[in-house]
Amino acid sequence: MLAWTLYISFAAAAAMFLLKPDSRQGARVLALVAALAGLAVGVVGAVQHSGGGLVTIQKLPWVPTIGAEYHLAADGISLTLVILTGLAAVVGILFSWNVEHRTREFFAFYLALIGGVYGVFLSFDLLLLFVFYEIAIIPKYFLIAIWGSTRREYAAMKLALYSFIGSAMVLAGLVAAYVVSGAQTFNLIELAKYPFPVAFQNWVFPLVFVGFAILAGLWPFHTWAPTGHSAAPTAASMLLAGVVMKLGAYGCLRVAMTLFPEGLATWRNVFGGLAVVGIVYGALVALTQRDFKFVIGYSSVSHMGFVLLGLMTLSTIGLSGAVLQMFSHGVIAGLLFGVVGRMVYDREHTRDLDELQGRRLGRAMPFAAVTFVIAGFASMGLPGFSGFVAELKVLIGAWQTFPKLAVIAGVGIVLGVAYTLRTVQKAFFSGDLEDVPGTPHGGHGAGEGTITLPEKIGAAVLIATTVVIGLYPKLLLDWIVPSFSTPLFDGLRKGGLL
């Protein structure tokens, strides 16, 4: 059932080229239908799946000579992220309803990216996972380079290079693991059982972990994130922050940590420390940015730091918190980028906060302002929103292992409030809003100013998601928590780490 998520996405991407080149509306509708179908399949599959245990979806021989298989499976972690991907895909399309330039190609790349992401989250064969991981990188490059804004080619290239360097590290590590184990298989579950020598783990673990974590914005390998996010078109930055960064964190958890638990034990303090540096550093840098998207970009670095910190706690509380934070950040960052990129930038043609300051956006676009305020509250981890539960779990987990780091991470939360409020007020609630109420200022024509229905639906969906999960996190946690008792995490448990 769940396998159809990726088939639908790839098929729809291919079907784009059956449309006439100028049929923009057709492309939009096709993309939306495909994304909705993917989301529906994901949700139905997830519900049928209840329990969060590991279930195989499909297992066929692929390259028999080296033992690679077409092996799709899912546990609660996959399910959570598959649903996140579906949501982000749907909302991203709603927020790109106004793409007029080569619409067909845009959505083809978009759906290919989505398909690749679904593939990564469902693959339990390392080679297959790696292939999907690469598939996801290529459309990303084109989305930014063709439809992007500020320094788009530079940003696209930077992102692609970072991704490929990461991939190269991952590939090297995986091949090494394959050879050393001598098991003639890429099956993750089989390989996770193999006791790799400690000395080997000590150098392969950081290789693979960093390789994946580059994409998760691990400090100091994060510099692709702000430039990439801000250059990307709205939907692409929503996907980039919402889903692609999760690919990295997912890889860290799914591959690096399960295969090399002893290497993890050696390196966990280092990466825990880097995660916390990322939390505080990202928040600090966000505090001084002038570009609206850079603020969100750096806030993503900060929030992903919580994911990485959660992973390093190695307790069920912290790990499930990290997965929940992946989901939560995906939704909230998507919403923030949606407001900035679609609602503000597409209408105002600037993201410079100092310039926006005088434009009375709170009056000109109240819907965008209210949405951003809510998203901002969610982003700063206020109770009632999903981020609170996630960060709470991460911090409780972190307190048990590294209390000092937990304190520093807490400082990051306070800074989060500071940069969010600064941005909210600069962008929307400053300038003299008193005179001539209701009249839009010059700069854009009539009609362009009003927020369209697709945007409203998209924003409402994301807000509803973060509130529902914030009030009733059980929905996801009932999947996530049991995942950590599957055989895959035996290695961590045996070492007494989990």
Residues 134-163 that bind other proteins (CB under 8 A): 158, 161
Selected binder of other proteins within 163, 258, 316, 465 (CB under 8 A): 316
Residue located via tokens 């609206």: 292
Selected binder of other proteins within 60, 182, 434, 445 (CB under 8 A): 434
Nearer to other proteins, 34 or 476 (CB): 476
Least separation in angstroms between residue 230's CB and other proteins is 13
Least separation in angstroms between residue 54's CB and other proteins is 18
Does residue 425 belong to the site contacting other proteins (CB under 8 A)? yes
Neighbours of 300 (CB within 10 A): 29
Choices 30-38, 235-243, 376-384, 439-447; region in contact with other proteins by CB under 8 A: 376-384
Does residue 421 belong to the site contacting other proteins (CB under 8 A)? yes
Selected binder of other proteins within 433, 451, 457, 461 (CB under 8 A): 433
Selected binder of other proteins within 61, 197, 358, 384 (CB under 8 A): 384
Residues 59-78 that bind other proteins (CB under 8 A): none
* Residue window 456-485: x/- pattern of binding to other proteins, with contact defined by CB under 8 A: ----------------xxx--xx--x--x-
Residues 244-273 that bind other proteins (CB under 8 A): none
Quick one: CA dihedral 232, 236, 238, 240, positive or negative? negative
Nearer to other proteins, 96 or 313 (CB): 313
Least separation in angstroms between residue 404's CB and other proteins is 11
Nearer to other proteins, 318 or 454 (CB): 318
Counting residues that bind other proteins (by CB under 8 A) gives: 57
Choices 39-47, 56-64, 190-198, 221-229; region in contact with other proteins by CB under 8 A: 221-229
- β-bridge mates for residue 187, sequence order: 125
3-class SS string, the chain: CCCHHHHHHHHHHHHHHHCCCCCHHHHHHHHHHHHHHHHHHHHHHHHHCCCCCCEEEEEEEEEHHHCEEEEEEECHHHHHHHHHHHHHHHHHHHHCCCCCCCHHHHHHHHHHHHHHHHHHHHECEHHHHHHHHHHHHHHHHHHHHHHCCCCHHHHHHHHHHHHHHHHHHHHHHHHHHHHHHCCCCCEHHHHHHCCCCHHHHHHHHHHHHHHHHCCCCCCCCCCHHHHHHHHCCHHHHHHHHHHHHHHHHHHHHHHHHHHCHHHHHHHHHHHHHHHHHHHHHHHHHHHCCCEHHHHHHHHHHHHHHHHHHHHHHCCHHHHHHHHHHHHHHHHHHHHHHHHHHHHHHHHHCCCEHHHHHHHCHHHHCHHHHHHHHHHHHHHCCCCCCHHHHHHHHHHHHHHHHCHHHHHHHHHHHHHHHHHHHHHHHHHCCCCCCCCCCCCCCCCCCCCCCCCCHHHHHHHHHHHHHHHHHHHCCHHHHHHHHHHCCCHHHHHHHHCCCC
Least separation in angstroms between residue 382's CB and other proteins is 5
Does residue 396 belong to the site contacting other proteins (CB under 8 A)? yes
Choices 19-27, 123-131, 197-205, 413-421; region in contact with other proteins by CB under 8 A: 413-421
* Residue window 334-353: x/- pattern of binding to other proteins, with contact defined by CB under 8 A: --------------------
Nearer to other proteins, 367 or 429 (CB): 429
Nearer to other proteins, 27 or 324 (CB): 324
Does residue 284 belong to the site contacting other proteins (CB under 8 A)? yes
Does residue 386 belong to the site contacting other proteins (CB under 8 A)? no
Does residue 406 belong to the site contacting other proteins (CB under 8 A)? yes
What is d(CA 111, CA 88) in angstroms, rounded to the nearest whole number? 12
* Site residues, other proteins (CB under 8 A): 158, 161, 220, 222-223, 226, 281, 284-285, 287-289, 315-320, 362, 377, 382-384, 388-389, 392-393, 395-397, 399-400, 403, 406-407, 410-411, 413-415, 417-418, 421-422, 425, 429-430, 432-434, 472-474, 477-478, 481, 484
